Structure 1
Amino acid sequence: MTKIKVADFKTLPDRTPSYALVADVDLVVVRWDNEVSVFYGRCLHRGALMSDGHVRGKNLICGVHDWDYRLDSGVSEYANEEVLPKFESWVEGGDILVEEDEIAAWGHANPQPFNRKSYLGLYADTSHGTEEEPYAGLIQSYARSGLKRTGHHGQVDAMGVPRSQLPDWDDIQILTAQLHRAPMLEDEAVGTEVVIGPNARKPLRLDIPLFVSDMSYGALSEPAKI
């Protein structure tokens, strides 16, 4: 067994997540009262660093999307099937220790995709986005390589909305009757006169199809009717 120190118990702030790196695996070390837990340091959702999160009650909370994990077990209180891997840890002579071989074996079984020397390094989003963010990977590629791989304008498309929710040609209804006669230009005169009751004895003629009158508060008066 190879013991390795990840933090000092006395100087580790209570209920404040701390970052550690062992065998190329990111870890988060959390002390609460006299207890200590060492977990895999990445949120199961989008791989955000859990050391950038915070403690709320009995849970370790991801600082990006509020995913929660119990301090004692790593089990999500919200969704029990989600479990943040926990590694054996103990305090010896004031040092918080872990077993390097255990973490290395876990890292071998779960290869880490983070290149700490590349763009974004520890903070790279390796999930390539979700349905609501389908172009996260494309945006990051622009940040790394610019437009040299896609041309001057880059890829032109809608971002941030699932393609299934975008309108397509099937949603557009074209009424051919409206295309039969081309519309007039905006500076051409247009007749707006409207005749209401053209066959009546006294038809109502309006210069424009807009008529404003007082409310009758009941029935129309006799002069208005005739």
Structure 2
Amino acid sequence: MEQTVRKVLIGNYQDLPESLGKAVEVDDKELAVFRLSNGNVKVIENKCPHRGGKLSEGMVSGEHVFCPLHDWKINLTDGLVQAPDEGCVKTYKTSIEDNQVYVEIPER
């Protein structure tokens, strides 16, 4: 059975700071939105799998964010924590239409 998704507006592309995170809330989910230096927008859950650090407050480097609590390195494309640490965070697909950024939220 194919899962349905809902597109939710999360902001204007120009309003997203480059190489910095921004926390947004959609339904009961807290998400971290990143506008990368290459122009791509990535959205992941805003909670490190280690100790729950707010990833939107982390340092961005290329396609990764570093958790502000213990410096875990997390890939913004696939959500995988980089070795030697282990774990992953949920990632969300995004789209940009008429300068507006949308995130795709899976329906239950």
Is TM-score (shorter-chain normalized) higher than 0.5? yes
Partner of 2:92: 87
Shift, 1:45, TM fit: 0.8
Shift, 1:36, TM fit: 1.1
Instruction: Give SS of 1:98's match.
Output: strand
Percent identity between the aligned chains?
Answer: 27
Q: Matched residues in 2 for 1:79 and 1:12: separation?
A: 31
1:83-117 deviation per Cα after TM superposition (whole angstroms, max 9, x unaligned)? 211012111111110123x1x64xxxxxxxxxxxx
Please tell me whether residue 36 in structure 1 is matched to residue 41 in structure 2. Answer: yes
Q: Quick check: which one's helix share is greater?
A: 1
Q: Matched residues in 2 for 1:17 and 1:84: separation?
A: 15
Shift, 1:18, TM fit: 0.7
Q: Kindly tell me: are residues 91 and 81 of structure 1, through their superposed partners in 2, closer, same or farther at Cα, counting changes over 3 Å?
A: same
Letter paired with 2:30: D
RMSD of equivalent CA atoms: 1.8
Q: Matched residues in 1 for 2:67 and 2:85: separation?
A: 16
Moved more, 41-50 or 54-63: 54-63
TM-score scaled to structure 1, two decimals? 0.42
Partner of 2:103: 98
Shift, 1:56, TM fit: 2.6
Letter paired with 2:12: D
Q: Kindly tell me: are residues 79 and 7 of structure 1, through their superposed partners in 2, closer, same or farther at Cα, counting changes over 3 Å?
A: farther
Shift, 1:27, TM fit: 0.3
Q: Which runs of 5+ in 1 are unaligned?
A: 106-226
Structure showing greater radius of gyration is 1
Please tell me whether residue 4 in structure 1 is matched to residue 19 in structure 2. Answer: no
Instruction: Give SS of 1:2's match.
Output: strand
Partner of 1:14: 18
Q: Verify the 8 A CA contact 2:44 2:76 in the aligned structure 1.
A: no
Shift, 1:48, TM fit: 1.6
Q: Which runs of 5+ in 2 are unaligned?
A: none
Instruction: Give SS of 2:68's match.
Output: coil
Q: Matched residues in 2 for 1:2 and 1:56: separation?
A: 29
Partner of 2:79: 74
Q: Quick check: which one's strand share is greater?
A: 2
Instruction: Give SS of 2:15's match.
Output: coil
Q: Kindly tell me: are residues 68 and 8 of structure 1, through their superposed partners in 2, closer, same or farther at Cα, counting changes over 3 Å?
A: same
Instruction: Give SS of 2:56's match.
Output: helix
1:100-149 deviation per Cα after TM superposition (whole angstroms, max 9, x unaligned)? 3x1x64xxxxxxxxxxxxxxxxxxxxxxxxxxxxxxxxxxxxxxxxxxxx
Q: Matched residues in 2 for 1:3 and 1:78: separation?
A: 33
Higher relative CO (Cα under 8 Å, sequence separation at least 6) belongs to 2
Please tell me whether residue 46 in structure 1 is matched to residue 84 in structure 2. Answer: no
Aligned residues: 103
Q: Verify the 8 A CA contact 2:76 2:91 in the aligned structure 1.
A: no
Shift, 1:80, TM fit: 7.1
